[in-house]
Amino acid sequence: MKYYKLAETEEKFAELIWQNEPIGSGDLVKLSEKEMNWKKSTTYTVLKKLCDKGIFQNENAVVSSQISKDEYYAKQSIRFVEDTFGGSLPKFLTSFISGKKISNYQAEELKRLIDEHKEV
C-alpha cells in the first residue's frame, strides 16, 4: 500500500465517507454541503482526487473505500514512528509514557500485544 497523508480537509471528508459508506455520490454531495458547506463541484473534485490516490472508489455512483479507516490510521502511525523515532517502537513508547504512570491493566495489555506480535 502506498503512503498517503491527507490534508486536514481531505481527512474530514474521508471521515464522512468512512462513517457512511457505501454512500451514493448524490447523497455524499448533500452530506458534504450540510457538514462542510461544500458545493457539488468541490465534493466531486476532492472525491476524484482521493479516488485517484486509491483511497476511495466511485463506481456506478456509489462511493466506498479501498482503504479502511483503520488501515489508513495504522499507516499514519507507522510513518510517524519512522519519521520521528527512527522506526524504534521502544523509543516511541519511552517518549509517550515519559513521566506518566500506566495502570496495571494498561501494562498487561501492552505485554499481551507484545507477546502476540513477537517474532518467534
The full 3-state SS of 3-56, as one line of letters, equals CCCCCHHHHHHHHHHHHHCCEEHHHHHHHHHHHHCCCHHHHHHHHHHHHHCCCE
Q: Which of these ranges, 15-29, 32-46, 53-67, 93-107, has the smallest mean pLDDT?
A: 93-107
Q: How far apart are CA 48 and CA 65, in angstroms?
A: 13
Question: Residue 2 — very low, low, confident or very high, per pLDDT cuts 50/70/90?
Answer: low
Q: Which residue has the higher pLDDT, 99 or 21?
A: 21
pLDDT at 120 over 90: no
18 with 12: CB under 8 angstroms? no
Predicted model pTM: 0.78
Indicate if the pLDDT at residue 76 is higher than 70.
yes
For residue 58, report the phi and psi dihedrals to the nearest 5 degrees: -130, 95
Under the banding of pLDDT at 50, 70 and 90, the label for residue 99 is confident
Distance, in Å, from the CA atom of 105 to the CA atom of 6, rounded to the nearest integer, reads 34
- Residues 6 or more apart whose CB falls under 8 angstroms from that of 4 comprise 53, 54, 55, 67, 72, 75
120 three-class SS: coil
Please say whether the beta carbons of 35 and 42 come within 8 A: no
Distance of CA 18 to the CA centre of its chain: 9
Determine the average pLDDT of the residues in 28-45: 97
